[in-house]
């Protein structure tokens, strides 16, 4: 990669890191209203009229999903130019799947969920439609959307581990970013397994994977920046 491409990649990582930090903050703020004793109806009322933190959280998540896809595209090009063509391609084929799954999962929370929740609340009690609404709720860890989101991060774990091992050899920042990517990928697998076997402790692996992944992006910024200066 030339200096302009490396500069673009490093700047993109910095922007994405900022979005990811905002995501963590907004996630905490938006989920602070949740009462552990809520039933399905309480959750539906909550998502039917989402507050600003909820909306910003999922808009932010939609944006950083797109940024993640672009970052992994930059990594693919970078590693391909480093003569890791087959390994880079092997990791990259999973990125579009991750992108589509996560875009559906996150964007649906602000484009579909509030409207079908409001429609449900305007109807007489309907258990079938209640089930449909809860399947679109990301906060419901047994829902279709949560399952899709879990699959997205599990799929992202594959290129994270592959690219993690490859960039370890680049420079000191690549080594740190690579190790963090590998750990993030492993946590995503644990989280998915936890969801499959209904183990609440292992299920948190998906969330932990995302938070750990955030710091890999910061060190990718330093890695690309160091490579740019070395050119």
Structure letter (DSSP) for residue 125: P
In whole numbers, what is the pLDDT of the chain averaged over residues? 90
Q: Which two tokens stand for residue 195?
A: 């969801």
If you average pLDDT over residues 11-27, what whole number do you get?
Answer: 92
pTM of this structure: 0.91
**How far apart are alpha carbons 75 and 153 in whole angstroms?**
18
pLDDT score of 62? 95
| Res. 231: pLDDT tops 70 | no
pLDDT score of 216? 94
CB 102 within 8 A of CB 23: no
pLDDT score of 95? 96
Q: Which two tokens stand for residue 39?
A: 């039933």
| Res. 206: pLDDT tops 90 | no
**How far apart are alpha carbons 61 and 27 in whole angstroms?**
10
């Amino acid at each position: 990669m030339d200096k302009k491409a490396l500069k673009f990649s490093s700047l993109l990582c910095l922007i994405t890191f900022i979005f990811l930090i905002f995501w963590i903050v907004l996630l905490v703020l938006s989920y602070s209203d949740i009462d552990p004793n809520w039933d399905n109806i309480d959750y539906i009322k909550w998502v039917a009229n989402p507050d600003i933190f909820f909306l910003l959280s999922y808009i932010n998540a939609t944006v950083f999903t797109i940024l993640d896809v672009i970052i992994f595209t930059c990594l693919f090009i970078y590693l391909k130019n480093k003569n890791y063509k087959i390994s880079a391609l092997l990791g990259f084929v999973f990125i579009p799947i991750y992108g589509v799954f996560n875009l559906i999962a996150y964007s649906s929370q602000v484009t579909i969920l509030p409207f079908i929740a409001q429609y449900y609340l305007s109807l007489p009690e309907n258990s079938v439609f209640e089930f449909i609404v809860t399947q679109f709720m990301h906060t419901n860890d047994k829902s279709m959307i949560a399952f899709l989101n879990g699959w997205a991060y599990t799929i992202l774990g594959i290129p994270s581990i592959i690219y993690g091992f490859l960039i370890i050899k680049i420079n000191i920042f690549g080594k740190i970013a690579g190790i963090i990517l590998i750990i993030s990928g492993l946590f995503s697998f644990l989280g998915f397994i936890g969801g499959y076997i209904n183990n609440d402790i292992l299920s948190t692996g998906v969330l932990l994977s995302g938070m750990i992944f955030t710091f890999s992006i910061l060190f990718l910024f330093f890695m690309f920046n160091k490579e740019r200066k070395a050119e």
